[in-house]
Structure 1
Amino acid sequence: MTQSPDPTLLWTIIIGLAIGSFALRFAFIGLMGGRSMPPWLMRHLRYTAVAIIPALVTPLVVWPTPTGGTPSLPHLAVAAAVFALGYWTRNVLIAMGSGAIGFLLLFLFSG
C-alpha cells in the first residue's frame, strides 16, 4: 500500500518549482528582452540545443529500464550506430529517425 504525500509539502514543492521556472524565464525574456546579448554569451547559447538531446538520451542508453538498469550491448550498439550516422550525415533528424528504427528492429527481432 502506498502512502500519499503530505498535501502541504506537495503544494510547497509545486509552487516553489513554478516560481523558480518563472524566474528563470523572466531573467532572459523580461530583463534581456529588448537588449542585444554579448557575443560570448550568444556563442555559448548556440550549443544549448545540441546538448539537450544527448543529455536526455544518455541515461536511457547507459542504464536501460528493460534490463533493470544494467548496461546492455544492443542498446549501446544502436546508440553507437546512431552516433556514427549522425556524425557522418550531420543531420539530427536522420540520426533520431535511425535510432527509432534501430530500436524498433531490435525489439522486433529480439523477441
Structure 2
Amino acid sequence: MIEKETFWIVTCLLGVGTFLIRFSFLGILGGRALPGWVLSHLRYVAVAVLPALITPLVLWPPATGGKTDTARLIAALAAFLIGLKNSIVGAVAAGMGTLYLMQFLLG
C-alpha cells in the first residue's frame, strides 16, 4: 500500500497538472481567435476519437467475454455502410436492426 502522505502529494500534483492542462486551452486561448490551420485540424478530432472508442467494443465485446462475435461485426459493417450514405439516425437504426436480426439468426 502507498503511504498516506505520498498518496495526497501525488493526488494534489495530478490535480494541479490537470488544471494547468485545461487552463492552457480555456484560460489562455479562450478569448482569442485560433488560426485557420488549427480549426481545420480540430474538425477531425471527433472523427478520430469515435472509432477509437467503438472499435474495441465491436471486436472484443464484454457481452461475449471478449471473443469476437460475427453478429456484431456484421452489424458494425451495416451501420458503417448506411452511415456513409444516410444520416446518423439511419446508421444507428441499421446497426441495431442488423445486430438483433443476426443474433436471432445465428443464435
Q: Normalising by structure 1, report the TM-score.
A: 0.72
- Ranked by relative contact order (alpha carbons within 8 Å, sequence separation 6 or more), the top structure is 2
Matched, 1:72 2:34: no
Q: Which residue of structure 1 aligns with residue 58 of structure 2?
A: 61
> Percentage identity across aligned positions?
40
- Say what the alpha-carbon RMSD is for the aligned residues: 2.8
- Give the 3 Å change call, closer, same or farther, for CA 23–93 of structure 1 in structure 2: farther
Structure showing greater Rg: 2
Question: Which has the higher mean CA deviation after the structures are superposed, 58-67 or 6-15?
Answer: 6-15
Match of 1:99 in 2: 95
1:40: how far off?
0.9
Unaligned runs of 5+ in 2: none
Instruction: State the number of aligned residues.
Output: 105
Tell me the secondary structure at the aligned position of residue 86 of structure 1.
Answer: helix
**What residue is the counterpart of 1:35 in the other structure?**
32
